[in-house]
């Protein structure tokens, strides 16, 4: 009897230990992240405040929150770029998805090498959605464009030309900075 009790206890302990390991292990293998960016571009309504990325089922969805996503403008245009790094061995992003922040403006996905756009705009699956009532811009890039990399990371840049003589830009976490690497999940 004593042995049986001991075994049961051991099993429970082992189960708890495994559960604990799974929880501890989660961040290293997480396919999503969310991080704040400071209010450091207050001259623009589009000051980046949070970036959330999810890389799952070989699709990438990135939500970027700004202070106030006003999609009608009586000044110059504003734009946002999502950079996607899918290859550690090559400097800079492999893809850029850029969009205007005013209603009716277009978006474009291009390949990049050493931080320069190369080739024609891509026609594989991708989309940008402006969600003004949530002050959010949603970027989506599908498998056909990404090519199923085991991991990727993203960077975000906003440029506001409302007052053309005083352009305002804001990079998530700093110039040419990145989120952490996200596993394919
Ligand atoms: Ca900011
Ligand atoms: Ca790269």
Tell me 175's DSSP state: T
pLDDT in tens, the chain (185 residues): 444 544 545 555 555 555 555 555 444 455 999 999 999 999 999 999 999 999 998 899 999 999 999 999 888 999 999 999 999 999 999 999 999 999 999 999 999 999 999 999 999 999 999 999 999 999 999 999 999 999 999 999 999 999 999 999 999 999 999 999 999 86
- Say if residue 62 is in the same domain as residue 124: yes
Q: Are residues 62 and 93 located together in one domain of the fold? A: yes
The count of C-alpha atoms lying within 13 angstroms of the C-alpha of 35, restricted to the half-sphere facing its C-beta, is: 13
Ligand nearest to the CA of 157: 1
Contact (CB, 8 A) for 66 and 158:
yes
How many domains would you assign to the chain? 2
Both 17 and 75 in a single domain?
Answer: no
* Token duo for residue 154: 């993203």
User: Which of the ligands is closest to the CA of residue 35?
Assistant: 1
Alpha helices in 30-171 (DSSP H): 143-146
What pLDDT was estimated at residue 58? 87
Dihedral pair phi/psi, residue 8, rounded to 5°? -60, -45
81 CA distance to ligand 1 middle (Å):
14
Question: 95 and 160 share a domain?
Answer: yes
- The CATH number linked to 148 is 2.60.40.10
Same structural domain, 69 and 12: no
What integer pLDDT is reported at residue 168 of this predicted model? 98
Same domain assignment for residues 145 and 166? yes
Please give the residue range of the domain that contains residue 101: 32-183
Separation of 18 CA from ligand 1 center, angstroms? 40
The CA–CA distances, whole Å, from 92 to 24, 57, 114, 115 equal 31, 24, 5, 5
């Amino acid at each position: 009897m004593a042995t049986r009790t001991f075994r049961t206890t051991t099993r429970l302990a082992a189960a708890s230990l495994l559960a604990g390991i799974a929880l501890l292990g989660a961040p290293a293998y997480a396919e999503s992240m969310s991080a704040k960016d400071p209010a450091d571009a207050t001259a623009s309504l589009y000051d980046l405040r949070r970036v959330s990325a999810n890389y799952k089922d070989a699709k990438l969805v990135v939500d970027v929150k700004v202070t106030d996503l006003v999609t009608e403008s009586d000044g110059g245009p504003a734009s946002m770029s999502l950079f996607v790094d899918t290859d550690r061995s090559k400097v800079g992003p492999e893809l850029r998805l850029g969009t205007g922040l005013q209603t009716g403006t277009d978006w474009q996905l291009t390949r990049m090498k050493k931080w320069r756009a190369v080739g024609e705009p891509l026609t594989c699956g991708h989309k940008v959605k402006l969600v003004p009532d949530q002050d959010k811009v949603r970027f989506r890039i599908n498998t056909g464009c990404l090519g199923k990399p085991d991991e990727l990371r993203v960077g975000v840049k906003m440029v506001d030309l409302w007052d053309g003589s005083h352009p305002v830009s804001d990079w998530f976490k700093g110039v040419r900075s990145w989120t952490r690497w996200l596993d394919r999940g």
